[in-house]
Amino acid sequence: MRLARPAIGSLPLVALSAAYLVFVTNGTFWRKGLLYFADHPLHLAALGLGLFLILFSALAAVSVRYLVKPVVIAFVLVSAVASYYVDSYGILIDRTMIANVAQTTGAEAGHLVTAGFLTHLALFGLLPAALVMLVRVRHRPFWRKVRWNVAAIVPSLGVALAITLAFYPSYASTFRMHRDLMASLNPLAPVVALVKYGQHWDGERTYVVAPLGTDAVAGPRLAAARKPVVTVLVVGETARAQNFSLNGYDRDTNPELAARGVVSFTDVSSCGTSTAVSVPCMFSNLTRAGHSDEKARSVENVLDVLGHGGIDVRWIDNDTGAYHVADRVPYTFLPGGGDPRFCEGGECHDEILTDRLEAELKTITKDTVIVLHQLGSHGPTYYLRYPAGFERFAPACRTAEFADCKREEIINAYDNTILYTDHVLAQTIDRLKARTDFDTAMLYVSDHGESLGENGIYLHAMPYVFAPTTQTRVPMIAWFSDGFAGDMGVDTACLAGRRDAPLSHDNLFHTLIGLQDLRTKVYDAGLDAFAPCRAAPTPAQVSELAGAGR
Ligand SMILES: [Zn+2]
C-alpha cells in the first residue's frame, strides 16, 4: 500500500517557504532589528513584511516544475548552516568568510562541526528540506501559471516598494549605521557571499607574477657585518593587542617576554580581520587602501625583494598555509609531519616552530630571514592551542561550543593562548641569543585580532569598516641581540620611546627591508617603522662597502 503524498499549490509552497526563511532562520537579524528599531517597532514590522514579499516574489519567479524545489531546498540549507554560525558566534558571512572556510585545513574546519551544529542543521535544514522533497507540488499549465505568478509578483513588489518609500529615511540611516543588520539576513547574505566568492575564485587561474625590487643590494651596514645577519619574523595568529600585559592588560600574560628586554608597539592596526586578507597584505607593498587579493597575487612581495638582495628566505608554517606569500621561497608545512611531541589530530602546538628553528639555525651560513607562522590563538578551540601546563587562567572553556561556556571561561582560554605565545616568543629569542656567531633579531606581529564577547561578538573576520578594534589592533614586538643592534645601527632606547606611535601592517614591507639594510627603489623610509631610530652608517662601514663591493 502506498501512502498518498500531501499536495500543495506552487504559490502556497513558495509563500510558506519565504515565511519560514524570513521569520524562522533569522534569529540574529530579528534580535538586531529589535535593538536598532527599538523606538520604531512599526518600521521593523514593515521591514519584515517587505522582506517577505521580496523573497516571495523571487521564489514565485522560479516556481516552475523541476526548478522550484531545488531552489527552495538550497535556500533552506544555506540559511540553516549560516544561521547557526551567525546566531551562536555572532559572525557575519561574507566573501572573505567563505574564502577562509574554503582555504582552512580539514582539522580546523572539523572543530566548527559540533554536535550543536549538527542538531541545528537537522532541525532547521534537513527536516524542512525533507518536507519540501516529500510534498507533491501542483503546477498549473504553463501559460496560466505565468499569468498567476505575474499576478502575485506585481502587487507584492508594489507593496514592498511602497514600504521602502514610506520609511526610506529610517531604513537608509539604520542600514548605514548598522551595516551588520542586513549583513546577517538569511538567505541573502550567505547567497551573496557565495556568488561573490565564486566570481573571485582563482583556484584555476594562473597568475603572472611581476618582479619587484630586483635592484635590491646590500647597504653599507649589511655589507660590513662580520657575522651572518639573521632575522626571525614570527607571524602571529588571532592575537589581539589588548590582551598583552606588555601593552597594559591587567593580567600577566607576558611574564617571559617582559624579562627579555623587548620593545612592544602598542598602536598597530592590521590590514584585514582574517588570515586570508591580512597575510598577503602585510607582505605586499600595497597599503591596506590599495590592497586586493588579485593585485597582491600579481606582483612579488617583500620575501622576493629580500631574495633579490641576496638574503636567504625560508618559511616554516604551523598555521593553515602561507596564502601564496611563500610561493617562491623554501616552504615547510609542519602539521603535515605530525610530530607526536607537539601534534595531535593534525594540529601542533607552536613550540614545534622553535624546535624547528633550532635545527634551521644549524644550517645557516649567510644572511637569512626565517618566517615562523604560528597557529597562535586560532579559535574557537583556544584550549587546544597550548599544553596543559599553560592553563594558568582557569576555569578555561574546553569546547568549541561557546554557548556551553561562560564568557569568562572563553576569555581565560584565550588568555592562556597568549601566555603560551609569550613562551614561544621568549624561546625564539633565547635560541637566537645563544647563537653569538650570528647577528640576530626577532620581529613578531599578529595577522588580526579577535572578539571575545564584546557586544555579543566572537571570533573575527568582520568587514573592516565596522570591525571593532579588538579585531584590528594587533601586537608587534621587536627584540635585537647586542650584535645586531650594534652592527645594524638600531637604537632600541629610541624605539622604546616611540612604542606608542601609530603603525600598521602597511609598515611591514619597508620595515623588513630597512631592518636587513637593503637598498632598493621600492623601499620607502617613511613607512619603515624603525627608520627614525636607525643611526647613519659609520664612515668605516661606508668605505668597507666601497672597497669590498659586496
Ligand atoms: Zn588569522
Nearest to 152 by CA among 43, 47, 13, 48: 13
490 alpha carbon – ligand 1 mean position (Å): 30
- CB of 61 closer than 8 Å to CB of 153: yes
439 alpha carbon – ligand 1 mean position (Å): 30
User: Average pLDDT, stretch 137-149?
Assistant: 92
318 alpha carbon – ligand 1 mean position (Å): 12
380 alpha carbon – ligand 1 mean position (Å): 12
pLDDT value of position 202: 54
CA 213-216-219 angle, 5° bins: 145
Residue 182 grid cell: 542586513
Residue 58 has pLDDT above 80, yes or no: yes
444 alpha carbon – ligand 1 mean position (Å): 14
Residues 504, 472: Cα–Cα separation, whole Å? 10
User: Average pLDDT, stretch 24-51?
Assistant: 93
CA 204-214-360 angle, 5° bins: 75
pLDDT value of position 93: 85
User: Average pLDDT, stretch 522-541?
Assistant: 90
Question: Which of helix, strand or coil describes residue 402?
Answer: helix
Angle between helices 407-434 and 351-361 (to 10 degrees): 10
User: Average pLDDT, stretch 428-436?
Assistant: 97
4 alpha carbon – ligand 1 mean position (Å): 53
Q: What is the DSSP letter of 124?
A: I
Residue 23 has pLDDT above 50, yes or no: yes
- Residues lining ligand 1 (ion), CB within 5 A? 237, 275, 447
pLDDT value of position 545: 66
241 alpha carbon – ligand 1 mean position (Å): 14
450 alpha carbon – ligand 1 mean position (Å): 9
301 alpha carbon – ligand 1 mean position (Å): 19
373 alpha carbon – ligand 1 mean position (Å): 10
512 alpha carbon – ligand 1 mean position (Å): 20
237 alpha carbon – ligand 1 mean position (Å): 5
User: Max Cα separation, the chain?
Assistant: 100
Residue 370 has pLDDT above 50, yes or no: yes
**Residues near 184 by beta carbon (within 8 Å), at least 6 away in sequence:** 26, 28, 29, 32, 86, 92
436 alpha carbon – ligand 1 mean position (Å): 33
pLDDT value of position 12: 95
240 alpha carbon – ligand 1 mean position (Å): 11
356 alpha carbon – ligand 1 mean position (Å): 21
Residue range 203-249, pLDDT digits in tens: 556 678 999 999 999 999 999 999 999 999 999 999 999 999 999 99
Residue 550 has pLDDT above 50, yes or no: no
Q: Strands (DSSP E) along 351-423, which ranges? A: 368-373
63 alpha carbon – ligand 1 mean position (Å): 42
pLDDT value of position 549: 44
Phi, psi of 152 (to 5 degrees): -85, -40
- pLDDT band with cut points at 50, 70 and 90 for residue 96: confident
Residue range 283-325, pLDDT digits in tens: 999 999 888 888 888 999 999 999 999 999 999 999 989 999 9
- pLDDT band with cut points at 50, 70 and 90 for residue 407: very high
**Residues near 204 by beta carbon (within 8 Å), at least 6 away in sequence:** none
* 488, amino acid identity: M
275 alpha carbon – ligand 1 mean position (Å): 4
110 alpha carbon – ligand 1 mean position (Å): 17
Phi, psi of 504 (to 5 degrees): -155, 180
pTM of the model: 0.79
Residue 350 has pLDDT above 80, yes or no: yes
160 alpha carbon – ligand 1 mean position (Å): 41
447 alpha carbon – ligand 1 mean position (Å): 5
382 alpha carbon – ligand 1 mean position (Å): 13
Spans of all domains in the chain? 7-200, 234-544
Residue 255 has pLDDT above 80, yes or no: yes
pLDDT value of position 263: 98
Please state, rounded to an integer, the average pLDDT across all residues of the chain.
Answer: 92
448 alpha carbon – ligand 1 mean position (Å): 6
Residues 455, 436: Cα–Cα separation, whole Å? 49
User: Average pLDDT, stretch 28-56?
Assistant: 94
- CB of 473 closer than 8 Å to CB of 500: no
Angle between helices 95-103 and 188-200 (to 10 degrees): 60
pLDDT value of position 204: 53
Residues in a beta bridge with 504: 269
Q: Domain 234-544 - what CATH class?
A: alpha beta
pLDDT value of position 410: 93
171 alpha carbon – ligand 1 mean position (Å): 34
458 vs 541, residue with greater confidence:
458
pLDDT value of position 247: 98
475 alpha carbon – ligand 1 mean position (Å): 13
333 alpha carbon – ligand 1 mean position (Å): 16
Of the listed ranges 168-177, 329-338, 366-375, the one predicted with least confidence = 168-177
Element (H, E) at 439: strand 439-446
358 alpha carbon – ligand 1 mean position (Å): 25
Q: Strands (DSSP E) along 170-281, which ranges? A: 217-218, 229-236, 263-269
